[in-house]
Amino acid sequence: MGVCMERRRFLKSAGLGASALLAGCSAEDVSETTTTTEGSTTTETTQGTTTGTTEGPQTLLVTTYQSFVDAPSTSPGAWLKETFESEYDATLEWFVPNNQLNYFLQRKQQGVTIDTDVYLGLTPENLVHADSTLSSGSLFESVDTSGFENISHLKENFRFDPQDRAIPFGASFISLVINQDMLDEQGVPAPETFEDLTKPEYKGSIICPNPQNSETGLEFLFWTIMQYGEDGYLDYWKRLQENDIRILKSWGSAYAAYSNGEAPIVVSYSTDQVFADQYGEPLSKHQIGFLNNQGYQYIEGMARFAGTDKPDLAADFMDFMLRADVQSEVAVRNVANPVVDNAELPADFEELTKEPEEPVGYGYEDLMGNVSGWLDAWGKQIAQQ
């Protein structure tokens, strides 16, 4: 998430120029700037950025990440604002806090009023972090979805919160992105399993973002724990280290190194070919690899803040976000996968957004009480080597 990315910017790599794009549906920042230009006005504060401010009978304040709103012609934000306001007697206002979730946790801990109504872009690990941080109460409240127009079409494997505080609205899959041209030059086939990555022919061929700094890397770590268990994942990572896996600080640095031809394989997103196609990159350099025919699902949820004075309007917005037509539009603009089974996508887009035979992923109950321990153990054995 978390993770997410300023998708529409090329990463500038030495010697290659504009050669790589952010390829996923997450909130992993690749820069430190927080500037939003979408909407009629923009107000910047030390806390964040509010966009799209207009007057109306009711104003719904929705927080999200930068790339969701910062390019009006391609990001979903401007289209969602216009469409929602045309159908509801309300104004939709976007708020992009510099510290994302931590901004609200700090206010909650300090007893400061939270005026925002909906959080858009909440991952399972974000929700676990929120609940683990607060000593009492919850930042979000459960929502009765029984009356939601399209709730019966929500894919069950994307649900991650048993309390229905966070409702999925978008997804992607962590996968390998493979430069098949480089592998062909080496006479090596694309890896197909986790064990393949430990074989001598892939020595020094794999780049991964650091799980301590990147949600992309963190969810790849979760994926390895699902494969090898709590008793076996560190041994697997040790074998990856012995095979010279490169662990770089962030998704941006990892993808830039991959784009610069420093290695033929990077841990990234299964939507990578959309950007490659848009910018004329050969798809042979952007092949998608699903290890063990799986892909770890990166899920973005939406949640209603506890204590909002507009609970019904917030629920209306969440219902709106699950409609088939809205899901289709947001998926294309956000370069992601819909979370409902009745969204219709353009044929070329659907062809380029790959999905694994077996989606896998941890939910809230799997992660609660485990994330810190997993990361600490990984950091002591792997990151400090």
Shared domain for 142 and 193, answered yes or no, is no
Q: Are 143 and 251 in a shared domain?
A: no
Same domain, 139 and 193: no
> Is the confidence at residue 261, as pLDDT, over 50?
yes
Based on the fold, state whether residues 313 and 249 are members of the same structural domain.
no
Which residues on adjacent β-strands are paired with residue 287?
Answer: 178
Tally of domains in the chain: 2
Convert the pLDDT of each residue in 37-93 to its tens digit.
333 323 333 345 555 444 557 999 999 999 999 877 789 999 999 999 999 999 999
Last residue of a domain, one of 296, 317, 336: 296
Residue 380 contacts by C-beta under 8 Å, 6 or more apart in sequence? Answer: none
Residues 285 and 188 in one domain: yes
CA-based torsion, 213, 214, 219, 225: positive or negative: negative
- For residue 334, pLDDT beyond 60: yes
Query: Does a structural domain hold residue 378?
Result: no
Cβ 208 vs Cβ 245: under 8 Å: yes
Question: Does 258 lie in the same domain as 340?
Answer: no
Asked whether residue 337 is domain-assigned, the answer is yes
Instruction: Give the pLDDT confidence score for residue 198 in this predicted structure.
Output: 98
Domain of 198, in residue numbers? 174-296
Average of per-residue pLDDT values in the chain: 87
DSSP code, position 309: S
Q: What is the pLDDT of residue 314?
A: 98
Give the percent of the chain with pLDDT over 90.
81
Residues 246 and 308 in one domain: no
Asked whether the predicted pLDDT for residue 321 surpasses 80, the reply is yes
Does the pLDDT of residue 114 top 50, yes or no?
Answer: yes
Q: Residue for token digits 């420093």?
A: 262
The answer to whether the beta carbons of residues 333 and 68 sit under 8 Å apart is no
Whether 204 and 189 share a structural domain? yes
**CATH number of the domain where residue 223 is located:** 3.40.190.10
pLDDT value of residue 136:
85
| N-to-C CA span, the chain | 27
Task: Answer whether residue 30 shows pLDDT above 50.
Answer: no
Tell me, yes or no, whether 375 lies in a domain: no
Lowest-pLDDT range, 301-305, 314-318, 380-384?
380-384
Bridge-based pairing of strands 140-141 and 294-305 is antiparallel
Q: What is the mean pLDDT of residues 22-36?
A: 40
Could you read off the pLDDT of 2-23 as tens digits, one per residue?
333 333 343 323 222 222 233 3
Residues 79 and 160 in one domain: yes
20 inside domain:
no
Q: Where are the beta strands (DSSP E) in the chain?
A: 3-4, 10-13, 17-21, 27-28, 42-44, 48-51, 59-63, 91-97, 118-122, 140-141, 166-178, 206-209, 246-248, 265-269, 287-289, 294-305, 358-360
Residue 87 · residue 320 · CB < 8 Å? yes
Average pLDDT over residues 217-246: 98
pLDDT at residue 385, as a whole number: 66
pLDDT score recorded for residue 137: 87
User: Is 373 within a domain?
Assistant: no
What's the whole-number mean pLDDT along residues 144-157? 97
Three-state DSSP class for residue 107: helix
Tell me what the mean pLDDT of segment 148-156 comes to: 97
Q: What confidence tier does 290 reach under pLDDT thresholds 50, 70, 90?
A: very high
61-75, 107-121, 229-243, 300-314: segment of lowest average pLDDT: 61-75
My answer on whether 157 and 182 are in the same domain is: no
Position 48 scores a pLDDT of: 53
Q: Which of 296, 330, 353 is the last residue of a domain?
A: 296
Residue 18 lies in a domain: no
Q: What is the pLDDT of residue 256?
A: 96
**Considering the domain boundaries, does residue 16 fall inside one?**
no
Amino acid identity, position 153 = H
165 and 179 belong to one structural domain: no
Q: What is the pLDDT of residue 57?
A: 79
Domain boundary among 296, 323, 353: 296
In the predicted structure, residue 253 carries a pLDDT above the cut 90: yes
8: buried, middle or exposed (CB in 10 Å: 19+, 13-18, 0-12)? middle
pLDDT of the residue at 384 = 78
What is the pLDDT, as a whole number, of residue 117?
98
Asked whether residue 10 is assigned to any structural domain, the reply reads: no
**Angle subtended at Cα 342 by Cα 341 and Cα 346, rounded to the nearest 5 degrees:** 105
Beta bridge partners of 119: 63, 303
Instruction: Indicate whether 181 and 227 sit together in one domain.
Output: yes
26 pLDDT more than 50: no
